[in-house]
Amino acid sequence: GAVVSQHPSRVICKSGTSVKIECRSLDFQATTMFWYRQFPKQSLMLMATSNEGSKATYEQGVEKDKFLINHASLTLSTLTVTSAHPEDSSFYICSAKFAQGSGYTFGSGTRLTVV
């Protein structure tokens, strides 16, 4: 149980275009999901907390207009990288908590390359 599915696993896009990444909780409802970014050989950096039915909470320094988060249902959160640039190339990972007191489950990640 407690599976988080993330798609796509890899995406290459042209500079200036937008890319959408999906994060789904497959066997549980997640009112809150989390989006992380990871640079090579570094740990995960929390970008934002996605709340079902309300606006996401962004960490300091993360541009909310560039990284659009939508959490329209209890099982789906999406991250859209708008007007992507090469510096947005990174590994993006989502996570959710199965229940209060449980640990966090992570998706398999999305490797974004902007050319």
Quick check: helix, strand or coil at residue 86?
helix
**Nearest distance from residue 96's CB to other proteins, in Å?**
11
Give 78 or 107: the residue with its C-beta nearer to other proteins: 107
Find the length of the chain.
115
Other C-beta atoms closer than 10 Å to the C-beta of 28 total 17
Given a contact cutoff of 8 angstroms between Cβ atoms, the answer to whether 80 and 88 are in contact is: no
Binding site for other proteins (CB under 8 A): 6, 32, 34, 43-44, 46, 49, 91, 93, 95, 97, 101-109, 111
**Nearest distance from residue 46's CB to other proteins, in Å?**
6
**Nearest distance from residue 23's CB to other proteins, in Å?**
11
